[in-house]
Structure 1
């Protein structure tokens, strides 16, 4: 690690282990732009982690959103948790750029933003400076490099931060059910969100799709209509209790407008709680069937059409 002067910055080498970690996280993604985003975000976090530990600050990678597979899959995050202090955002940028663009999901939940400059060969990065998060002052979406505070001020800034409670650093997506998780076992008790998930026959009537041919199972089934790239698509989920505390789950897609077929290129995926692929199916009739699914299992449904994507989380 090298200190430089005029202007002052820190050069941090990127190790083979750093790149292997970044490749592993990036390989979880499907879109090429997302692969690059996760790769650079991961390297930026690892570089700042190395720098702060060199400065004898305690860090916790595993508590960071950027280390949570589902959160990083659906958000552009590059945070590093400093226990008792908060989340420090490590934003990567390329040599030709002269500003940092902050995603909306990292504004307002950080103690500061560190600029991490990447050179072409990705063998090292330059940590240029930081912008503190000031109370009662909204963080801008675009940070000019000229507005960065020098790294020489970072130590005093961090040491003077008030401590925060540990629960404030808990990842947004925890193992506990929350309002964004649909509990499938409640459907068996006829307890479900009737505004979004409805009985299939209700969907056909309310959406004006009476003539649509959908194979409605006799077991517990719910459906909803989503919009992907100006195409209406029906998601149908059917549940069958096979033995105590186990069920079969079937997920199917149907055209939700007057077209007889689904749009070309549509893809249906089921992902586990870590964001790893369980099963996938695509055009022309996507359908996935899972058997012997234990109660309390968590998974998500992902439907993509080009750049458009729908995701919803479930717990059995």
Structure 2
């Protein structure tokens, strides 16, 4: 992975907080390693939270030798830097726990390139030769396993909705649009009023809404999901996405996708500054689908089982 001037300036800024030359060098190397892995993860569409990592905390930088990168709810990956002329990777004992794995990152002499030496899921000694590190594919396999487990654990079962059982994050439209809660876009408020007026004549339709946050920079929007039973084993499903600010539009580059059980996109649309996005489709009992909202390098995915 290339290292940019911006990456080097960030690492320099962190290192300047240290008074000892050896500590400044350590923080510089650690920060560059974390930035290299963060750039790689974004390229591979793996969600990260670099600002929420201990390695981004000036106090933790001073008190320890940490180079962790938080991968959201999947856990932390340790990004260990390697000098251009080194033959071993140093992994301090203080980072042998609370990690889902370890990546070794070697820099060239001018700090313009970061070479991924390899990956290990567990560490039991401080000095590990370069030839003992496993393929980077093992890291990607681990992420895939963890994402599969996370997706299973966080599936929303729409059959429960038909029984009046709802997950906490999915609320009634009338709740989410109360004045003291959120001021949603004009179209959403009109949609809410229309829904409340016609609800008596469409008692079989169930609608819930969830506020979705894309960070950074904290962009929020309302995801509305409606389900209507058409047969004992089939549902009509509507997916709508609205801005949360009054009279506003969805971000220009925002995309809304419907994914099948394998993660393949079967429906996709880009907001282009529109006031909302809407999909309608049908599904049968037992089928799985996901809703993915993507904006630039950031994405959120919700998984459902019919």
Q: TM-score, with normalisation over the residues of structure 1? A: 0.50
Rounded to whole Å, the distance in 2 between the matches of 1:250 and 1:97 is: 58
Please, which of 183, 200, 219 is the counterpart of residue 231 of structure 1?
A: 219
Shift of 1:264: 2.1
1:181 is aligned to 155
Counterpart residue number, 1:197: 170
Of 244, 247, 260 in structure 2, the residue corresponding to residue 272 of structure 1 is 260
Match status 1:108 vs 2:99 = yes
Indicate which of 255, 264, 273 corresponds to 2:243.
Answer: 255
Q: SS of the counterpart of 2:246?
A: coil
Rounded to whole Å, the distance in 2 between the matches of 1:313 and 1:246 is: 18
Distance 1:276 1:107, change over 3 A: farther
Of 207, 214, 232 in structure 2, the residue corresponding to residue 221 of structure 1 is 207
Contact 1:129 1:148 in 2 (8 A): no
Measure, in 1, the Cα distance between the counterparts of 2:156 and 2:233: 17
* Number of equivalenced pairs: 205
1:35, CA displacement in angstroms? Answer: 8.9
Contact 1:204/1:212 (8 A) holds in 2: no
Instruction: Give the secondary structure class of the aligned counterpart of 1:193.
Output: coil
Map of 1:15 onto structure 2:
none
Aligned to 1:134: 123
Give the deviation of 1:134 after TM superposition.
3.4
Cα shift at 1:278: 1.6
Q: Which has the higher helix share?
A: 2
Q: 1:246 corresponds to which residue?
A: 234
**Match of 1:208?**
182
Q: Cα gap change, 1:201/1:130 in structure 2, threshold over 3 Å: closer, same or farther?
A: closer
| Partners of 2:84 and 2:106 within 8 A in 1 | no
CA 1:256–1:113: 2 relative to 1, 3 Å: closer
Match of 2:129 among 123, 129, 149: 149
Measured after TM superposition, the shift of residue 275 of structure 1 is: 1.3
TM-score by length of 2: 0.51
Post-superposition offset of 1:182: 1.1
Match of 1:86 in 2: none
Q: Does residue 307 in structure 1 map to residue 280 in structure 2?
A: no
Alignment RMSD (CA, Å): 5.0
Query: Cα–Cα, structure 1 residues 150 and 238, in superposed 2: closer, same or farther, change >3 Å?
Result: closer
SS at match of 1:148: strand
Structure 2 Cα separation of the partners of residues 203 and 179 of structure 1:
25
Deviation by residue 1:184-243 (Cα, 9 ceiling, x = unmatched): 11111110123x110111110152327733224541000011223333211000001111
Distance 1:186-1:177 versus aligned 2 partners, 3 A rule: farther
Rounded Cα–Cα distance in structure 2 between residues aligned with 1:295 and 1:277: 20
Contact between 2:185 and 2:245, CA under 8 Å: does it hold in 1?
no
Q: Give the match's secondary structure for 2:129.
A: coil
